[in-house]
Structure 1
Amino acid sequence: MIYDTIIIGRGPAGISCGVYLKRFNLNPLIIAYDNGALKDAHFIDNYYGVSHLSGNDLALSGIRQAKELGVSMVDAEVISIEMLDHFYVKTTSGDYEAKTLFLAMGKKRNTLKIKSANLFDGHGVSYCAICDGFFFKNKKIGLAGAGPFMESEYNVLKNFSKDITIFTEGEETKINANIVKDKIKELKGDSNLKAVVAGDKEYLLDGLFIALGTQSGMSLAYHMGLALDDKGYIIVDSNMQTNIAHIYAGGDVVGGLLQVSKAVSDGAIAALKIKEDLASMSK
């Protein structure tokens, strides 16, 4: 089945987009592994018609509304997205296809929890194997992570180098490679990364790729070649359309006012444009 739209994320922006698309008699699919940042809000007191309601309760209410309308949902982590004649979304629960995409999974990027975590970003530390793997051809590469996202990045990086060390931060992995379970304590170098300290040992590296946890909005954006602003937010136009045709984004991942009201609006605006986009495809 090819869905009209795959929506990644089920916070206010994702649910809003799904509800509008379904009411347009279209066939959206929402993919998410949790209920977004809204679930962590203690109380919501500044949203129309809502008084002293927990963020999680508001999130669950929106999800329930979408399901009652018949919006399809999958609980899964997105591993990768391919853009061919349409979009192929690989997840931990299977592969899905769609004519359009709406990215609404927030901006948070998983980084190492150390003081020097961002010191070498762009100078030996990367968050995208497809983007930067080529620059480390036949060099010593480190890869931090342990789940499906890391495995996907490893499958890319092994095409460029046979000298790859995986730092799992204490977690288990199925990959048969050089594994370091000790947690990374420090990144060392001068103008570029030179080494990683994990446990009591120093590992000389030319590059370190970060693939901790699940793919964030920023990580997916890097992988797909979406334009970002200087703060790392996905750039969209007034219709929530990105620089790549048929890909839209909304909510925290595009920046601006990080509030429920704005996220809901982003989802609705995107749905209206996606409806037009789909109609033009069928002509």
Structure 2
Amino acid sequence: MVKKYDVIIIGAGPGGMTAALYASRANLSVLLLDRGVYGGQMNNTAEVENYPGFKSILGPDLAKEMYESATQFEAEYAYGTVESVTVSPTGIKTVKTDSAEFETHALIIATGSQYKKLGIPGEEDYSGRGVSYCAVCDGAFFRDRDVAVVGGGDSAIEEGSYLTQMVKEVNVIHRRDQLRAQQILQERAFDNPKIDFTWDTIVTQIEGDGQKVTGVKTHNKKTGEDKLLPVSGVFIYIGLLPMTETVSHLGITDDEGWIITNEKMETKVPGIFAVGDVRKKDLRQIATAVGDGSIAGQEAYNYLETVKDVQR
């Protein structure tokens, strides 16, 4: 049986949950879909210091607070991996998951992004056995050991600083000669005696003993020097890729897969909106995702009002 909702939101990160709050508060029937636990990448964030209202809060705790707010006006939450999204000539959007099928006039895409991979020998072989993309998830496994963090942006430096609470030493390996992270994060990292930096360097291979990571091979782009750095863990933060595989056929993405919207979060397909990290934009933060979600929730209501006018 196909279930029908006024609004369906794919993705229960901060943008998706905020959209659910605004749409359900407008007395619309709302389904919030996600293939995992609500919160998205907030669940992989140790500490959030730049979300208004909280001097500091753990990422999973903020996710819980948002979820309780998002569902207070009877928005429904369901698990499911979306397999396809189609749009009929009459504007009905059909969302098929691995276990059910849903229909709606207004669809909000909040699928977020995922971490890029290095694509080097050993990365796949030792994934989950020393190679990680989440310090909060896996940091405790490396207590009192040396680890490497690959990258120079906010995520790399934030998570590298977090790791110093448990590991012996963090070596940040960056392909450039300066970081891209926010200045305050850089200052903290430079002041942290447990963080070392390897500049102008790329990781070319992840070494292991067949069971776990034992080190990384590096190449200095300026000197041409190759080295083997002994570490027990490798945490990779080199950028993001949009999770838009199931909607790319709709013609709403750019060449890299990011969804293009206007300031109302509208895509080129009427009744389809996008919010949060999946959008083509410069700043991807919890606060910006929440802003996107509030706009999309309200604009979904406005769109449905125009649909009703046409049907009358």
TM bucket (normalised to shorter chain) is 0.5 to 0.7
Aligned to 2:31, the other structure's residue is in SS state strand
1:258 to 263, 284, 288: 284
Counterpart check, 1:107 vs 2:117: no
Q: Report the Cα distance in structure 1 between the residues aligned to 2:256 and 2:47, rounded to whole angstroms.
A: 28
User: 1:99 Cα deviation (Å)?
Assistant: 0.8
Structure 1: gaps of 5 or more residues: 118-215
Question: SS of the counterpart of 2:47?
Answer: coil
The residue matched to 2:111 in structure 1 has which SS?
Answer: coil
* 1:274–1:76 Cα change, 3 Å: same
Deviation string for 1:228-276 (max 9, x for gaps)?
2x54321100100011111100100013311111100000111121111
- For the structure 1 residues 242 and 109, does the alpha-carbon distance in structure 2 shift closer, same or farther, using more than 3 Å as the test? farther
Q: Which residue of 1 aligns with 2:293?
A: 267
Deviation track 1:182-220 (CA, whole Å, cap 9, x = no partner) reads xxxxxxxxxxxxxxxxxxxxxxxxxxxxxxxxxx63212
Scaled by the length of structure 2, the TM-score of the pair is: 0.55
- Aligned residue for 2:4? 2
Structure 2 residues not aligned, in runs of 5+: 124-241
2:224 is aligned to: none
Aligned residues: 185
Aligned to 1:164: none
Higher-Rg structure is 2
Match of 2:66 among 62, 69, 77: 62
Partner Cα distance (2:298, 2:56) in 1: 31
Preserved CA contact (<8 Å) 1:104 1:217: no
**Following the alignment from structure 1 to structure 2, what is the Cα–Cα distance between the partners of residues 92 and 62?**
26
Distance in 2 (alpha carbons) for counterparts of 1:47 and 1:109? 22
Q: 1:218 touches 1:253 (CA, 8 Å); kept in 2? A: yes
Residue type at the aligned position of 2:268: N
Aligned ranges for residues 89-238 of structure 1 at < 5 Å?
Answer: 89-108=95-114, 113-114=119-120, 217-228=243-254, 230-238=255-263
Q: What is the CA-CA distance between 1:108 and the residue it aligns to?
A: 2.4
Secondary structure at the aligned position of 1:88 is classed as strand
Relative to the length of structure 1, the TM-score reads 0.61
Aligned with residue 28 of structure 1, among 18, 30, 35: 30
Please point out which of 273, 278, 281 is paired with 1:248: 273
What is the distance in 2 between the residues matched to 1:258 and 1:63? 20
Task: Report the equivalent of 1:44.
Answer: 48
Are 2:7 and 2:104, in contact at CA under 8 Å, matched by a contact in 1?
A: yes
Deviations 1:63-107 (A, max 9, x none): 122223211111111111111130111112211111111000102
Structure 1: which amino acid aligns with 2:289?
A: A
**Equivalents in 1 of 2:69, 2:297: separation in Å?**
17
Report the secondary structure of 2:259's partner residue: coil
User: SS state of the match for residue 16, structure 1?
Assistant: helix
